[in-house]
Chain A
């Protein structure tokens, strides 16, 4: 407690300064400080926790490592586990305890926080289960006590996973738990958390019977959901789950479990009847529930199963499922990659479609359907738009007849249901994100057909784009190959198609939004690895001049970009790679501002291309676009 008090001091955080003079109000205000301000943490623990709660994850991560900050690290949703580990270690040092004690204490605190804490509890459960069994063994009384005390079953399951790992075997724990349904349910629910696959699988003979018959529905559901975790028993569990689905026993759980089993163990002889039973049961679901998770899972499983059936039978299943109502498609963005998770969506002409658009990425994206072949035109038009909402509150939507449907920008972490009628004319339309610059990468084909089934039968799902997370180390032996035999045309084309040219100048080419690439190798003293690292990890080193500033404006809009100039009254901000995107923001309209850590340049730009292509691109930069450079000489 003493340390707590001592450390509850004032600390400085680089966080949104609010140089907002009273625009709308009476004068006589104390003028707040300009620039990065000193963050103030109240001494009172509740007040401190509340103030920390007002920080974004990014801001929190920059906070000095004091006790309440560590506590927040453990309780926040969406933090990388490494920060949770850091907090455990930090607290253990501060309080002279150990990692596991702090982990259990954190779970204890989260126990009272209801559903908001679910994500953090799940993260901490993994950390607990990953702990060494010897350490866990030393904490058995504490784990038992937590199980006895906790109200949230997720916390009890985490503690059980710890106990099992400490024991290294199911019994005697199982027999003790079996005396009480709730306790047994907690233990069954803990099994998928166990890290050791062999230990997990040793529960198969105990859990398999419960999946067939259990004292409570909850227990049976947990048993069913544990089956996919039984390594080495996939075949028998597929049969079991198929039987449950056909019998209509705990069908939603069985469907979800079956979806988790690898397709390699799906047995063809079961596929047809299971698919048929899914069709039959789906038909009984009221129309307004057909966009809910259980229904969507069933439809997905039905479709997946149908692909293993004889072509005609499979088509029958897909047709039946698709006729059950609105065509619902789920489209997501891929975090930090600037891609949609699907490059093709197939819909029936003129028919209503619902797209559930989820954006787990950290920047906003939208979904715009363009006329066939108009993606680039619309994308370029969108690049020139100033961020001003149209009548429907949408940003970056060009006024063009070639825009057939357009959503609002969906904020990071948000989801939006989009309902529209598919175009009347069959054809290959585009869907694209029109946030400036995104259209180059973030798009797909909206295939509009008369008969979806027929089309899918003839055109199987394309492979998902193959993404490689390149590391500088992958090029350890290759960077010397830059000097000769590179393909000029490939480098030049990539410089355009990857979008480099949109933001960077190279010689006379390109736009001056990001740093100029002319002489980039010289700037890095010909450290080729460093140049490559800049492309692979743009946020690692960001030039002060090109830091991303975000401004929350009085009209609820946000402007994000690079500050070109700033004086007492206004900030000149460029929000994208076009002079049309330069805007002057009056400081009086700024509610808050923040400097973002990351770069505006997306990561993962190179993840779609191969090593040789990357080398061609680097050579193109090295040559500054000169075709006669030595790098392109072929002896």
Chain B
């Protein structure tokens, strides 16, 4: 009782103290004029508003006669003094001028707040400078803009044990919001105290167990729906719009999507950056030249006009009418000839098989092609779901969608219901995409990469089509669309990875602060917790290949040079910069490589088992096989002369591959005569937009595997499936397990581990799977971890050391455990221990990493990867390696 009263008093006191601007004002904080252009700048709170359109809809419907123009310039992780964009994107001022901002809504303070008390003074100064500079500017030609500041929202306490406790953030956010209010007051600038408003909204939602954010700090559509009328009331002193807004909101969203495609255009490096300056002859050698910039800027002008056309419909709907959008006024885009006119005609999907050479016993058949499924064009990624269906991302718009394209990119599902080895059903799961460079299954849905955001999309009514989606990661850059985040594998513990290439300026907002990176990097994302971090910042050109082996070791492939790396050595933590150059694990015969896989299937004979498969699309057009063996602390690859596939069809471009539930191998053919991003104009007319194939390879005379049932299975059945030797089956079992109640899964897993037969040759691996299920469920089992750290199998010890690394904040004295691992008898375990040390922030961690040297037979000739990893770990820990 007492607690409740105190709580009530506190919250009243808090509202009074911290929201001096939240009470409805007698005179409106902001007066809008006819034809005002309103620009939103700042962090993800503003960035997200353009996708659900609630705020804009409420304002437009409150002032239907004013014909307002909204342009959202916000980008996740923006701060008042940061502008992390790819080359030649244009400055904030330039963009504000371009959109002729009369009114500016500035959402700052969230990303800044992670600097805590130490950063407060600078933030205050920066904000003050920003206010003064903005008011001194004239972006519209009509005088200085009217500026409104928006504080960060309060981070929400969510009823999900996997989400962080927002208390620490909120202490900072309160300080930053208060500082914003003070600076705004001192400058006479209106401020909307979202910190207070959001806090008021959370409690009534929390009672029925609902929330306004999905991860404590990013508002859902429902969150923005609740917030928008409060903002309108606060700003204008009016009750805001009521009644049916859905039609208007859809019109607003249609306009905003067009603007988003323009402002955040993918492939920026080719639209406005360095490679936009590349020129190509218009009509044969020695003719006048035309650059990517020339053409792509004409397309950008089309997008400007399309956006403006949709503004008009918004105004019409706001006034209670409607308008048919008419895009007949688009400016032209110049046409020109291909610089590669000598295109070889396409073979049919069946005919192309005759041009393939495969090892004796292997047989290739056509699973699907554009001939039966016209939607199957330029397949770029593939994966089998828990139902055994093949999902394919189709990218006909490559390198990216044109403003006038009607055929858009898709996520397709193929089924072979009769078991004939041919697709007999195809469903379009998602349409209207632009550059779906990666996807991966998660719980009952799928994570889909479409720059700049990673979506979680679900089919909630079972019709095979996505009908629900949430942007779960925002700010993945796409300066070059063909190295936008891709190759989304799952690791054995449930994290997924995004491979991002050069030229990019990715910045992602997370619950513990912004993550920024320049150029190539592989990111690690835990969908369960929302944790997002730089995994391998490295001088990659375009990393496209990514696999985990049976024991959780990963191999990373940089496509351009087909450089393949043993990843544990260079995935230690660095808080800035990137890792130094590292040796390759296999002497590859040619390049480039768009995808890799591991052949884990008993359908194929012994000599194929666990081959590293590496596809190659220029020169050698086919799939290399690589024998992988242990070497020191790492792995070493050796080419197997008998390639898995080799074709002399110049249009054959294998691009994605994987093992099916029945053990056969599927591979996609991008099917293009012309693939170079640099060698041909971005809009070269000979870029094919019509072909795509999926092939299937079996081994004659060996039975196919009986697919292990996954979909809809019980927890105990799924745990038994973890004994399956095929890697992909176990991954699918863990995906399916994550649909079940976590507490039940964990309880059953503990029982299952205890019941395992210790005589089973695969006992240590089964047990390791038990540990990985815990990691997947984000539940720490310290005693199981400790057992596995001392497993008799060094591969299990190494994998468990990796788990320890990611549980370091939740196990007792993790460094004491690492001290044992770093003195392990096997170098692989020592390597993982050295890597794990890089994640700590103490000198002791450095001392422990250095202990790895003790086990080297000759300290002058240390194990290559241990030395590399130690160098990089010390590079990170140097600043803590100081005298006490």
By a CB distance below 8 angstroms, the chain A residues around B518 are 554-555
Q: In the complex the two chains form, is B882's CB within 8 Å of A38's CB?
A: yes
By a CB distance below 8 angstroms, the chain A residues around B510 are 26
By a CB distance below 8 angstroms, the chain A residues around B859 are 46, 49-50
Contact among B512, B842, B850 for A47, CB-based, below 8 A: B850
Q: In the complex the two chains form, is A18's CB within 8 Å of B878's CB?
A: yes
A608 at the interface (CB under 8 A from B): no
Q: In the complex the two chains form, is B853's CB within 8 Å of A50's CB?
A: yes
By a CB distance below 8 angstroms, the chain B residues around A112 are 858, 860
**B763-792: contact bitstring with A at CB < 8 Å (1 yes, 0 no)?**
000000000000000000000000000000
By a CB distance below 8 angstroms, the chain A residues around B878 are 16, 18, 592
**Stretch of A28-36, A266-274, A433-441, A599-607 that contacts chain B:** A28-36
Q: In the complex the two chains form, is A113's CB within 8 Å of B879's CB?
A: no
**What is the CB-to-nearest-CB distance from B3 to chain A, in angstroms, rounded to a whole number?**
29
Q: In the complex the two chains form, is B882's CB within 8 Å of A39's CB?
A: yes
**B300-340: contact bitstring with A at CB < 8 Å (1 yes, 0 no)?**
00000000000000000000000000000000000000000
Q: In the complex the two chains form, is B515's CB within 8 Å of A25's CB?
A: yes
By a CB distance below 8 angstroms, the chain B residues around A37 are 879, 882
Known contacts A24-B576, A46-B859: A40-B850 contact under CB 8 Å: no
Contact among B512, B576, B842, B850 for A23, CB-based, below 8 A: B576
Q: In the complex the two chains form, is B860's CB within 8 Å of A30's CB?
A: no
A10 at the interface (CB under 8 A from B): yes
B116 at the interface (CB under 8 A from A): yes
Known contacts A25-B515, A26-B533: A114-B853 contact under CB 8 Å: no
Q: In the complex the two chains form, is B575's CB within 8 Å of A27's CB?
A: no
Contact among A39, A114, A556 for B860, CB-based, below 8 A: A114
Interface residues on B, range: 35 or more
**What is the CB-to-nearest-CB distance from B74 to chain A, in angstroms, rounded to a whole number?**
21
**What is the CB-to-nearest-CB distance from B513 to chain A, in angstroms, rounded to a whole number?**
5
Q: In the complex the two chains form, is B861's CB within 8 Å of A44's CB?
A: no
A569 at the interface (CB under 8 A from B): yes
By a CB distance below 8 angstroms, the chain B residues around A28 are 512
A466 at the interface (CB under 8 A from B): no
Name the CB-closest residue of B to A22. B575
**What is the CB-to-nearest-CB distance from A140 to chain B, in angstroms, rounded to a whole number?**
29
By a CB distance below 8 angstroms, the chain B residues around A10 are 883-884
Interface residues on A, range: 35 or more
Known contacts A27-B116, A555-B518, A568-B122: A33-B882 contact under CB 8 Å: yes
Alpha-carbon gap, A577 to B539, bound state (A)? 32
By a CB distance below 8 angstroms, the chain A residues around B539 are 556
Q: In the complex the two chains form, is A20's CB within 8 Å of B882's CB?
A: no
**What is the CB-to-nearest-CB distance from A623 to chain B, in angstroms, rounded to a whole number?**
47
Name the CB-closest residue of B to A49. B859
Q: In the complex the two chains form, is B577's CB within 8 Å of A554's CB?
A: yes
Q: In the complex the two chains form, is B577's CB within 8 Å of A27's CB?
A: no
B851 at the interface (CB under 8 A from A): yes
Alpha-carbon gap, A113 to B862, bound state (A)? 11
B553 at the interface (CB under 8 A from A): no
Contact among A29, A33, A38, A39 for B575, CB-based, below 8 A: A29
Q: In the complex the two chains form, is B882's CB within 8 Å of A32's CB?
A: yes
Most chain B CB neighbours (cut-off 10 Å) among A50, A51, A592: A50
By a CB distance below 8 angstroms, the chain B residues around A554 are 518, 576-578
A12 at the interface (CB under 8 A from B): yes
Alpha-carbon gap, A17 to B115, bound state (A)? 21
Q: In the complex the two chains form, is B880's CB within 8 Å of A47's CB?
A: no
Task: Give residues of chain B (793-848) contacting chain A, Cβ–Cβ below 8 Å.
Answer: 841-843, 847
Alpha-carbon gap, A9 to B553, bound state (A)? 39
**A116-151: contact bitstring with B at CB < 8 Å (1 yes, 0 no)?**
100000000000000000000000000000000000
A588 at the interface (CB under 8 A from B): yes
Q: In the complex the two chains form, is A50's CB within 8 Å of B850's CB?
A: yes
A65 at the interface (CB under 8 A from B): no
A543 at the interface (CB under 8 A from B): no
A391 at the interface (CB under 8 A from B): yes
**What is the CB-to-nearest-CB distance from B877 to chain A, in angstroms, rounded to a whole number?**
10
A591 at the interface (CB under 8 A from B): yes
A2 at the interface (CB under 8 A from B): no
Alpha-carbon gap, A354 to B586, bound state (A)? 31
Q: In the complex the two chains form, is B854's CB within 8 Å of A44's CB?
A: yes
**What is the CB-to-nearest-CB distance from B291 to chain A, in angstroms, rounded to a whole number?**
14
Known contacts A24-B534, A26-B533, A569-B122: A40-B573 contact under CB 8 Å: no
Most chain B CB neighbours (cut-off 10 Å) among A11, A19, A51: A51
A589 at the interface (CB under 8 A from B): yes
A42 at the interface (CB under 8 A from B): yes
> Can you list 11 residue pairs at the A/B interface with Cβ under 8 Å?
A12-B883, A25-B533, A27-B512, A27-B513, A32-B880, A46-B856, A50-B853, A54-B871, A556-B578, A568-B122, A588-B576
Task: List 18 additional A-B contacts (Cβ < 8 Å) besides A24-B575, A29-B575, A46-B853.
Answer: A19-B879, A20-B879, A23-B516, A23-B576, A30-B880, A32-B880, A39-B883, A40-B843, A44-B851, A47-B853, A51-B874, A54-B874, A391-B274, A554-B518, A554-B576, A554-B577, A556-B577, A569-B122
Q: Which residues of A contact B (CB under 8 A)?
A: 10-12, 16-30, 32-33, 37-40, 42, 44, 46-47, 49-51, 54, 112-114, 116, 391, 552-556, 568-569, 588-589, 591-592
Q: Which 8 A-B pairs have the closest CB atoms?
A: A38-B883, A32-B879, A47-B850, A18-B879, A22-B575, A25-B575, A46-B853, A554-B576
